[in-house]
Structure 1
Amino acid sequence: MPIRVGAFALSLGLLVGVRQTGIKHPAKPWAIAVLCIMALELFWHPHLNSLPAGVAQCLMYLAILAPLFWVSRLPLNLNSLRGLVFLLWGFHTLSSGMGVLQTYYSDVFQFVLSTKIQAGVFGGDHLMIQLANGKMIHRPMGLTDIPGGAAKSGFYAVLLGTGIALQERRFIVRLMGIGSIPIGLFCIYLSQVRSILVSTLICLIVLAFTLLYQKRFLRLTALLGGMALGISVALSWALNIGGEATSDRLSSLFADRLDQVVYQNRGYFLEQTLTDLLSQYPLGAGLGRWGMINDYFGSTVNPLTAPIWVEIQWTGWLLDGGVPLILAYCGAIAMACYAVWAIMTNPTLKPLQLWASVVFAYNVGAIALTFNNSLFLSQSGMEFWLLNAVLFAVAHQLQKQQMGWFSGIKL
């Protein structure tokens, strides 16, 4: 718990500690609206689970959105963005590599499981996979304590590795970016997290369309060729190690019509949110009633504030603040994507355009994942706002240097 809380506490600390005046990101007004709605829910809603849980939920939202505010106060440049990308890519590639080792040598590289899984709260046979040699192991965890956790690292390794391979001029660095792609895909395949696999493919397709829009035909050709090669190599590798279980898991994506596959896996939760919960909680169900916040700080005394199970982000938003919160948070995400698109299509920001294409593709993938999990109530949500805020701040500084003035990116 302290380690998990520490990541959010660091973001809150930077919000307080970095005191300079910052530039105005287009998503800031929407983020402020989100925080105001959360404050109203805390002080107004009659079904608040408990005061500690409500305060913790508000602080969670603030910590996740905080990079929009404190990043804009830092003197950043293109090297800052590259440093962040390489830091994220390096960590997640290392985590993906650990996932590969856990597949081959589970007895040596298997980490201690999360205490919640050990206690049987989230455990079960679905956290195990059977390899082609008949051995049962936990799904690759990478540098986490959760079976299947390597899939998220695989997503970053593939997407950021692709960006590095397309952007970097140094051959050895480009080769490292290319090498991380099959490693990341292998972890996604073996982790059997189909939503992340689909999200990864969506990101790569969006990246291809942005390159086509920018008329970067050479890089587009390289991307398409690399995608075909990387996917085929990783798939063959994963099927050779994972065997029938991996093959069956992947083939289930194509077993029925796309709408039926989506409904059977996560579409049911969206339907339940729209048909049942929306009419019950149009203005929220009260803070602290779901997720780890409820588990850590919640109360079970009042049956009217009993915990509610949440699988997808849209359910979480509805319970926390109802329709107003959904609209405000969607507005913030839309403006973040709009800002990235403006950078990507601005000819005066050519050094940033390719990185903006990668971030834009990442944003689309993150939006897709809101239909699978609570991305914006996790470290992944904080990473979303961190990447977007750093890109915008660097664009601000670059345009200021080039033109001698800056009045905001023209959106």
Structure 2
Amino acid sequence: MKHRTAAELDPVDLYAVRSMLSESERLMQNSVAAFVDHQVIPIIAECFEHEHFPRELIGTMAELGLLGCSLRGYGCAGLNGVSYGLICQELERGDSGLRSFVSVQSSLCMYPIHAFGSEAQRKRWLPPMARGEVIGCFGLTEPHGGSDPANMKTYARRQGQDWILNGSKMWITNGAIADVAIVWARTDGGIRGFLVEKDFKGFRTSLVKHKMSLRTSVTSGLFFDNVIVPEENVLGVVGLKGPLSCLTQARFGICWGVIGAAQACLAQVIDYSKTRSLFGKPLAATQSVQIRLAEMSRKITTSQLLALQLGRLYDSDRMEPTQVSMAKWHNTRAAIEVARDARDLLGGAGVSIEYVPIRHALNLESVITYEGTETIHQLTVGRALTGLSAF
């Protein structure tokens, strides 16, 4: 058996997960990693500080085929699930806000149009969305309770051949910059999805400011005051299965994305601990620091293996929502713990955005909450294990 030295192991890929990828998957990861290294990381700290979403990066992301990348046809790249996961991982290594933008555009907006839309809707919306010329947002969460979507108050009623939409949505990524909103509302016949265009009369948005998390992401409220939506803008799905299937797609990307945030934190704190000297030796030469770094590596490695197997299940059409819940719960919890501990190991430097852990830790406070809180995912797994619902 060959014994490899520690120097030969990749500190952020200790189990050589990259070696388990296909050549096309590695090439996709490499191209997005280069984009993040050269165009995202140099500007993202300043964007975070000033609550700025870097719209100038959308064109490049579209050129790389990142928008709607797992969809087939209509100008989409048709990549497999593992490639989509790796894209999310590299984007979130840069910043959760950037991965959130791609997740919303791809999984929450383009996916439902592709899966539930008419052919006319697909032809109208998907090609320009893949090119980054049309931005979408996903309106499900409401101010009074995001974890119980069946309790939504937004309502649409028939009026001739049209629908009249009233209500509001909150904490909506991309809302204020979106050209079209995928809005879920109650109707007399069940929950339906509506394509609400930004210039529809009675539709307005507000920008959520003063956030301490996802500051590079546009977060908004959506408000509908007797908005007339034509029948041609209604998706062909009824019930919660529509929005919940979209959330499954987005959660899949999150399971991968948070690994990138954790890897960025570990890589930086390893470098710092080797150069920071206290009491006559580097921090990295102390037992307590090595134990903490090893814990971070264990959490990242476990998350990588969970995500890879989840991706293989996805690509063989065997993935179940409960498996996504397990990975979203585990990987997000692991990532936020890595980010917090990395921030602590940096000492006073850890509170500066010149170092990445504080930014990732703050962002992950949102990621662990949205697309299903940690508790919701724990209860989802518990329900699968027992056959009994505790919701």
The reply to whether TM is greater than 0.5 is: no
TM value normalised by structure 2: 0.30
Structure number with the higher helix fraction is 1
| More strand per residue | 2
Structure with larger RCO (C-alpha < 8 A, sep 6+): 1
- The normalised TM-score by structure 1 is 0.29
